[in-house]
């Protein structure tokens, strides 16, 4: 069967482009481990507050010293809407929605996830400096979307309990 030269060139060209795309996906998947930032964990969105994982949302310090923040998103609030977390320690956020899809973005950081009803979104973030961060919903979720916000307050590290007295050395001339 005779295939015109130009037709053959375009067919090989199209095949080459597809091959380049597949290689790019392969590299990002296996070499750079690029993947959705969460795991897959499901939950009944109609029974979030009855679920042991979310019935007492808030901040928990686990036995290994890591910190977990459990939060529920709903129209149009985060529950709780203000949390205190320590500086310099990994903080794992676990968030779910009891109604529609929301967003959870910690302003000034790259911590950002969708919050989809039926699923638990989870990511871990370490805050490098103390301070206050606004939390915003960045998925349009209804008439009150723009009012849906919260706050993450990063507390400064506590002074070590056994710190030596810091009296100035006597007799040092300056
Ligand atoms: Cu919740 Cu927008």
| pLDDT score for 30 | 87
Q: What is the pLDDT of residues 9-53, one digit of tens each?
A: 999 999 999 999 999 999 988 887 666 666 789 999 999 999 999
- The bridge status of strand 121-126 relative to strand 67-74 is unpaired
Q: What is the pLDDT of residues 140-161, one digit of tens each?
A: 999 999 999 999 999 998 766 6
Residue 163 has pLDDT above 80, yes or no: no
Instruction: Give the Cα separation of 122 and 97 in Å (integer).
Output: 12
Q: Is 148 in the pocket of ligand 1 (CB under 6 A)?
A: yes
Q: What is the pLDDT of residues 119-133, one digit of tens each?
A: 999 999 999 999 999
Q: Are 149 and 114 in contact (CB under 8 A)?
A: no
Give the global pTM: 0.72
Q: Which atom of ligand 1 is nearest to the CA of 75?
A: 1
b/e per residue, 12-22, with b = 16+ CB within 10 A? eeeeeeeeeee
pLDDT interval class at 101 (50, 70, 90): very high
Please choose, from the candidates 67, 66, 126, 116, the residue with its C-alpha nearest in 3D space to the C-alpha of residue 95: 116
Known catalytic residues are 76, 78
If you measure from the C-alpha of residue 146 to the centroid of ligand 1, how many angstroms do you get, rounded to a whole number? 7
Task: Give SS3 for 155.
Answer: strand
| pLDDT score for 7 | 95
| pLDDT score for 32 | 77
Residue 174 has pLDDT above 60, yes or no: no
Mean pLDDT of the chain: 89
Per-residue tokens: 105: 């973005």
CA angle at 95 for the pair 91 and 101, rounded to the nearest 5°: 145
| Strands annotated E in 51-169 | 58-61, 67-74, 77-79, 82-86, 90-97, 102-106, 112-115, 121-126, 131-136, 149-155
If you measure from the C-alpha of residue 116 to the centroid of ligand 1, how many angstroms do you get, rounded to a whole number? 11
Q: Is 10 in the pocket of ligand 1 (CB under 6 A)?
A: no
Q: Is 102 in the pocket of ligand 1 (CB under 6 A)?
A: yes
Q: Is 68 in the pocket of ligand 1 (CB under 6 A)?
A: no
């Amino acid at each position: 069967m005779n295939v015109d030269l130009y037709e053959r060139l375009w067919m090989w060209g199209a095949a080459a482009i597809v091959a380049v795309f597949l290689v790019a996906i392969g590299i990002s998947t296996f070499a750079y481990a690029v993947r959705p930032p969460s795991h897959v964990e499901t939950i009944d969105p109609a029974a979030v507050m009855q679920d042991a994982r979310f019935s007492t949302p808030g901040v928990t310090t686990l036995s290994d010293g890591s910190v977990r923040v459990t939060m529920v998103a709903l129209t149009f609030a985060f529950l709780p809407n203000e949390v205190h977390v320590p500086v310099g320690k990994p903080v794992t956020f676990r968030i779910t929605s009891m109604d529609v899809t929301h967003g959870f973005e910690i302003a000034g950081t790259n911590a950002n996830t969708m919050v989809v009803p039926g699923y638990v979104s989870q990511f871990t973030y370490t805050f490098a400096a103390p301070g206050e961060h606004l939390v915003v919903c960045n998925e349009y979720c209804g008439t009150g979307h723009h009012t849906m916000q919260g706050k993450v307050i990063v507390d400064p590290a506590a002074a070590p309990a056994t710190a030596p007295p810091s009296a100035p050395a006597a007799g040092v001339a300056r």
